[in-house]
Structure 1
Amino acid sequence: MKGRSKENNLKFLKAFEEYCNVACDLAFKPWCYIIDAVFKRTHYYKILTKNKIIMSTIVNEVISYKRNIIKQNKDTIECDKYSDSKSEKEFSILDNLLEDHGDTITDLELLEEILVLALGGTDTSSVTACFTALLLARHPDIQEKVYQEVKEVLGDTTRPIHYDDLPKLKYLDAVLKESVRLYPPAPIIGRLADKDVTLPSGKIIPKGTTMVFNILGLHRNPKFWGEDVELFNPDRFLNDLPHPAAYIPFSYGPRNCIGYKYGMLSLKSLLATMVSRYEFLPSPVSETFRLEFKVMLKEYNNFQIRLRQR
């Protein structure tokens, strides 16, 4: 975060990680928070409250810092935005929000937006990139097809990848989609019914019901994906989906992840660059995947692979 010391940056990250880990733990222990009066006596509540205060305090200080700069000099944001100097502050998301909505958006709304972006931008892309690298290391034939496609599109694999190159990397796109089919960053998601919902079976979900969707299970359902559902096969995504709702790695419908397209484009750019320069090789530690769930789905051994320069 701009305007904060390294110590406070680390303090925020530590509080954020601890908060998310406890929230993840509570997702599997609903009995701990069903009764509010009981929940407030638990150590979970104390940890969540402590870290929420830490995060809110740091973010609010940054918001106040930015507002004061704008108040002192209305040209500051434009200077930050177009400055070529590396010592200048970058034009951040907070700058954008304040520039476009500074007179109408409250500090509380800014705080909520920043924390949501912190959660949405934490691990989702990096976890997907790491799982994809692991899969490519274990499937050299598929990795070679990706490499050949990148060579064909770029011509010179040493040049930077441009935005116009990305739609042409169709096989890499299929590889990424198959990776998140097998290992969705968020394997389960929750929803709250805001009205009575009648299912096709005739059963009714009452208003106010908390629902949990098993994305990992859906993505490995043989009914939609065939008997080879456990296999890494990017060719699945070179054809039409078996059902529009059979693949929902970033949720589905109006509550779908707003950053999905941007995330996939950034991942294609990253992996195309990496594959063009390095060969991914398996590590003895990563011969078998051992999964763990800590807000995001992760690999227990921390995604270990070997790299060999091409």
Structure 2
Amino acid sequence: MVNHFLKLSDIAPEEIQPLLERAIELKAGATSNALAGKSVAILFEKPSLRTKLSFWVGTEKLGGHPVHFAPEEVGLGRREPIADVANVMSRMSDIAVIRTFEQSIIEEFAAAASIPVINALTDLEHPCQALADTQTIMEQLGGVSGAKVAYIGDGNNVAVSLGYAVAGLGGHLTVASPAGYTVPGESLEGANTYGASAGGSVTQVTSPEEAVASADIVYTDVWTSMGQETESAKRLVDLDGYQVNPRLLDQAGSNVKFMHDLPAHPGEEISDGLLYDSRSIVFDQAENRLWAQAALMEKLI
């Protein structure tokens, strides 16, 4: 059976910790030739800096060869049927890394593929980001179990995957969002079920102040994600009051750390300069995309 990573829950809760420990080992200098003589096809239908760079460099660090396809080169389901692309890539590469829009696209791709398929972001989830996020929390706090994480803003794909990962490791995520921007009910229920055996939880509230009280980590993401540009003006109004700034961080735990998956929009979801606040660990978090994904590819191949 081919192992795919299309949603965070595609790996069992008890598999997350060893994977993140391996990521930390690789970051500390451990070497691996898991992809020696193998190729990784990187097919992105959305722009990317961190995801493209981290998969490219991570593939090379494991001894493999990355092959990148820009949006106009393939056209999943438009220029060529999704199943046809999956079959061709399966014949010529060893892992497919897909960044696209609807979750159904990557699910259809994986159903036709005979190689591991990795979700590098869809509208539903961003599971690779969640691996890097929880690796970063582990490094800062010594573990995720029992950690209090606050997520402020749009309950989007990043929030969904983060919820599964934090809960699966026994941590507690509180999401603060206005009406209309909360984590989908099915995802909220799913994350709590996923994390039940570890004692983890995900809770939805509306008040940012309530969410950050005693928090070890405060996390946010952009208010307007890729593909939502036409909604930008409305989102700026609806999410007003959900900015993360020094005042809000001051209401969290005394040793709070600030996280953001980037790119950020200062003046919107964060105040100017917050990425460089002494409490910010966003660039450690960005670097960990490389190591978490390298460990993931090593696991799946």
TM range (shorter): under 0.3
Q: Which has the higher helix share?
A: 1
Give the structure-2-normalised TM-score: 0.25
